[in-house]
A and B are shown apart, each in its own frame.
Chain A
Amino acid sequence: MMRIKEEAVERHVLAVMVDNEAGILARIAGMFTARGYNIESLTVADISEDHAISRITIATNGPPHVIEQIIAQLDRLVPVHSVRDLTEAGPHVQRELALVKVAGKGENRIEAMRLADAYRARIVDASTESFVFEITGAPDKIETFVALMREVGLVEVGRTGVVAISRGPDAA
């Protein structure tokens, strides 16, 4: 019988500047599905003074030759101005924000607060039996924090997805 082979993948974070026009997200996201590429997370917001340009941060994964194709395929879309592979370009900061709701009483509640403190999560809402924590950090930090909260009464999580920017004085 025939088997389908899998290749080893790398994670890359891309910063994509696009015209802020109708349908642009569908165009980008649809290109990923149409060509079988992966999206780990995708964030978008307009960033220019006149609201004409949006910055899309895409965390994706794939074998190196696929990453190269993803960049070329993004770049040929008409509303795309530039594509930067931040992972390839060198040191960069990645941040994500999460809101984490935990419910419980007694020992669990105290433990949740202690952990939140250790992870520098802020309390943004509290009731006698729940907290909502706000935490920012690199995705793996958030990952770990959410895993810990699972043990002390996690109710739900909302995550923004990654935004990233290169280190140093220059634009990527």
Chain B
Amino acid sequence: MPGNAVALRCSIAYQSPALCGSGEKLEQIVAEKSGADILVETLLDLGVDTVFGYPGGAVLPIYDGLYEHPKIKHILVRHEQAATHAAEGYARSTGKPGVVLVTSGPGATNAVTGITDALMDSIPMVVITGQVATNLIGTDAFQEADTVGITRHCTKHNYLVKKPSQLASVVREAFHIATEGRPGPVVIDIPKNVQVAATEFQRHGGKHNNRYQPQIDGDFKAVNEAAEMIMQAKAPIFYTGGGIINSGPKASETLQELAALTGAPVTSTLMGLGAFPASSDQWLGMLGMHGTFEANMAMNRADLIICLGARFDDRITGRIDAFSPDSKKIHVDIDRSSINKTIRVDLPVVGDVGRVMEQLLAVLKGRKFSAPDYEEWWARIKGWRARNCLEYPENDKEIMPQLAVRKLWEATKDRDPIITTEVGQHQMWAAQHFDFELPNKWLTSGGLGTMGYGLPAAIGAQLGNPDSLVIDIAGEASIQMNIQELGTATQYRLPVKLFILNNEYMGMVRQWQELTYESRYSNSYSDSLPDFVKLAESYGWKGICIEKPADLEAGIKEMIETDGPVLVDCRVAKLANCFPMIPSGAAHTEMLLSPEDIKGTMDDQAKALV
């Protein structure tokens, strides 16, 4: 390795500033440094304090740079997928970008699921992957994979860094791209010789170019027009999404102001839960496939939909041609490509949703707008609410999963817990029956629907929020996808709680089979389950099994009051289904509210939809 001999291990720069004099002088110091050290220095400079990763041959120089690092904490996961989900959990609960470090080949390919997950849910994340040396690229070298090729379409942007001199500016630009505009994952692939070779490095220097500058302020004319439309509306509704969470906690406050000023009802996507307090009278609950009757009916009958940081996903719209046929639609989004993608809107506003809401508020206040009473509109909404769509049958022999979630909420709500989930019925029950008052408390895999997300995400969230109560509401099938992360929580003494709604089925799959395939439960039974309590104990966790409704409260209490990590195997009714449900291909008005509404099988047209 040519530059190797001259590579200066100048970690001195941050360890003992006294050596280098004042802070200003420090900036001017130009030292020869290895690519790995430049990477670590730049991460430090960007405020990175936690890295989730897993070592391997192609990242050993970077791991050496992190060895006993005083400021950057490396969290050793048990599988690279978990590193990406943990980074997502950290990012979504703290607002800071999540950072991942994995080796080449299998390390990188294992990370692909979490990278795609972050892309779909707009999570800021920077993934550093090792790569074989530049002279070996393309030779099918040991643990070589075309990481930039593989991740090109599941990242917001990606890089292969071929020279150490490019590293600092690439890393800076990567963080800028991951966090600005619509957030997303960025991959930086660094060949091993680039990590080892030395080059001049100027700390705090190396500005990246500013080619990525998303639009933040909404177009003034469009904002005015939006205000005009709101003032004209008789039956408006705010349809909010994850964009509000991404915009930052201030956006949630602005949303509440806007809602208070207009008096209009508010609904949210799965990703947006927590942006608006569930305790508000104006809250209609989540909308979409498993949304509430009132939210979906209100969307269908509204005369104005104000879409704020949501994207008219197919889980929200149901059958497109029947989606809110008589409404005018305003769509505020920072990503122009989200606008008019599936649903034509009347007024697009490109910009940061938090900023645009502020602009909108200013215009409405300037025009002395105050909440009309919308008497007729609210009367109709109350009618829909009276259907009590989230009700479920009582059962004194088996624990109803909905009840378990509700009891969990009751027992923990005063502590504003952070809830993560896996994917399936339990995820939807959590979304329906756990009420959120604040943003950044609800972490779930929405766009990609990745089973195995919840436990690593909880680990990431706990690291970012050491004092918070963090609970993964899981299914017994999903949890097995990243169950090895029990060990990570143990190693870093993270008091994560894992609450498994164990129905012995891939419940969501079973529910669709019941609805669409005449209850032919092909491969959806969770056979050969482990003894979860013993499994927990073998990892050094506490394990609790709750079997009867009467033991539910005590079990939950014990879980919360235990200091360390706890796994609860909560045995719930095996065949419970998740309602309301809009079957795929159906309209908002064709909601199934209970098992009695299910009739016959679906036609091919509906079966073809996911």
Contact = CB atoms under 8 A, between A and B. Distances in A.
A96 interface: no
A2 B604 contact: yes
A65 B608 CA distance: 23
Nearest to B154: A34
Contact of B160 (A22, A30, A73, A75): A22
Interface string B125-158: 0000000000000000000000011001100110
A23 B339 CA distance: 27
B336 A27 contact: no
Nearest to B608: A2
Interface in B316-359: 335-337, 339-341, 344
A44 B156 CA distance: 23
A26 B149 contact: yes
Contact of B177 (A31, A73, A78): A78
B355 to A, nearest CB: 19
Given A2-B605, A30-B152, A31-B153, A78 B212 contact: yes
A72 B337 contact: yes
A134 interface: no
A76 B152 contact: no
Given A2-B604, A78-B177, A65 B337 contact: no
B211 interface: yes
Nearest to B156: A78
Taking residues whose C-beta sits less than 8 angstroms from the other chain, chain B's interface range is 20 to 34
A53 to B, nearest CB: 11
Interface centre among A26, A73, A76, A79 (most CB of B within 10 A): A76
B211 A75 contact: no
A75 B153 contact: no
Nearest to A2: B604
Given A30-B152, A30-B153, A34-B153, A75 B336 contact: yes
Contacts of A27: 152
A68 interface: yes
A22 B170 CA distance: 14
A116 B310 CA distance: 58
A11 to B, nearest CB: 20
A144 interface: no
Contacts of B177: 78
B160 A23 contact: yes
A30 B158 CA distance: 14
Nearest to B339: A72
A30 B155 CA distance: 13
Helix, strand, loop or mixed for chain B's interface? Answer: loop
Contact-size category for A: 20 to 34
Interface in A55-84: 65, 68-69, 72-73, 75-79, 81
B55 to A, nearest CB: 27
A76 B604 contact: no
A155 B160 CA distance: 42
A65 B152 contact: no
B604 A23 contact: no
A65 B335 CA distance: 16
A22 B189 CA distance: 13
A171 interface: no
A81 B209 CA distance: 13
A9 B129 CA distance: 41
A30 B605 CA distance: 29
Interface string A1-31: 1100000000000000001001100110011
A75 B153 CA distance: 15
A72 B603 CA distance: 35
A65 B211 contact: no
A60 B211 CA distance: 26
Nearest to A68: B340
Contacts of B339: 72
B604 A1 contact: yes
Given A68-B340, A72-B337, A78 B604 contact: no
Max chain B Cβ within 10 angstroms of own Cβ: one of A31, A72, A78: A78
Nearest to A27: B152
A1 B160 CA distance: 48
A76 B211 contact: no
A27 B608 CA distance: 30
A107 to B, nearest CB: 52
A34 B152 CA distance: 10
A27 to B, nearest CB: 6
A76 B157 contact: no
Contacts of A30: 152-153
A65 B340 CA distance: 8
A78 B211 contact: yes
Contacts of B157: 77-79
Contact of A75 (B148, B149, B337, B608): B337
7 contacts: A2-B604, A19-B211, A22-B160, A23-B148, A65-B340, A72-B337, A79-B211
Q: Which 7 A-B pairs rank lowest in CB-CB distance, beginning with the nearest?
A: A72-B337, A2-B604, A78-B157, A34-B153, A72-B336, A73-B337, A76-B337
Given A22-B160, A79-B211, 5 more contacts: A2-B603, A31-B153, A65-B344, A76-B335, A76-B336
